[in-house]
Amino acid sequence: MTSLLTNFPANKYALSLHTTTPELGLAISNFAGETRSNVWNLGRDLSSYIHQYLIDFIQPQTWSDLAFIAVAKGPGGFTGTRIGVVTARTLGQQLNIPVFAISTLAAIAWSQKSDNQKVIAIEMPAQRGKVFGAIYQLLPDASGITALFLDTVLTTEAWQDTLANWNTDYQLIQAQSGLAATVTSILELAYIEWQQEKRPDWSEALPYYGQHPVEI
């Protein structure tokens, strides 16, 4: 494992949100053996209940215990992605703590981490018959992740051509359901960046819609 630049402060926690699907995923950790997470299928009620679920979930911790926020930035559903990013930005601004916006596809790749270095191709359905595609390399000893082919919306044919012409072995994952369960991966990837002394301002957390480039 690469040497870590910064230790996580004692008695502090980090919170992650995953809302890019009809499910709400939340995770919290102090990175010292205490981690908990949960997923709820809220469907269209996500916007109405996310704040109450957050309040209930973080207990017994409080907002002042948080050192940073992490959020799945997409790709995913437009409304859910927007809700999660806006919520994370609001919390980061009010608490004056960093907000890490993490790719949904990177989190899926990270969920496959092991002690072996490998390449993960992620395919996820998009609208109008297209797909979101990305290729990530997991670094040795689960020390991080590198994007070899950034999250992109493509036709099915273009994605198949990309894979056919890829010059290294890869594992293909078709991401279709249960994505909110990777909320712990969102948290872990943000923690790696935090250890590298990255401290993104809440205003830097932007959603990735792919087919819907809308600013918030």
Average pLDDT over residues 5-32: 92
Q: What DSSP element (H or E) covers 144?
A: none
Tell me how far apart the alpha carbons of residues 21 and 177 are, in angstroms, rounded to a whole number: 8
Domain 106-174 bears CATH identifier 3.30.420.200: yes
Sign of CA dihedral 198, 181, 84, 154: positive
The model's pLDDT over 96-126, given as tens digits with 9 standing for 90+, comes to 999 999 999 999 999 988 756 699 999 999 9
Residue 215's pLDDT band (cuts 50, 70, 90): very low
Average pLDDT over residues 117-142: 91
If you average pLDDT over every residue of the chain, what do you get? Answer: 91
Residue located via tokens 């709400």: 24
Question: In the CATH scheme, what is the homologous superfamily, with its name and number, of domain 13-104+178-204?
Answer: ATPase, nucleotide binding domain (3.30.420.40)
Residue 156's pLDDT band (cuts 50, 70, 90): very high
Query: Strand, coil or helix: what is 143?
Result: coil
Examine the pLDDT at 83 and tell me if it is beyond 70: yes
192's CB contacts (< 8 A; 6+ apart) are 143, 144, 145
What is the signed CA dihedral for 51, 54, 56, 60, rounded to 10 degrees? -140
Examine the pLDDT at 1 and tell me if it is beyond 50: no
Are 100 and 205 within 8 A, CB to CB? yes
The model's pLDDT over 27-48, given as tens digits with 9 standing for 90+, comes to 999 999 899 999 999 988 999 9
Give the model's pLDDT for residue 7.
81
The model's pLDDT over 59-80, given as tens digits with 9 standing for 90+, comes to 999 999 999 999 999 999 999 9
Closest CA to 17 of 28, 25, 9: 25
Give the model's pLDDT for residue 133.
96
- How many C-beta atoms surround the C-beta of residue 73 within 10 A? 26
Q: What is the percentage of the chain residues whose pLDDT exceeds 70?
A: 94
Give the model's pLDDT for residue 116.
67
Which residues in the chain are classed under CATH 3.30.420.40? Answer: 13-104+178-204
Strand partners, 149: 135
Higher-confidence position of 197 and 3: 197
Are 104 and 76 within 8 A, CB to CB? yes
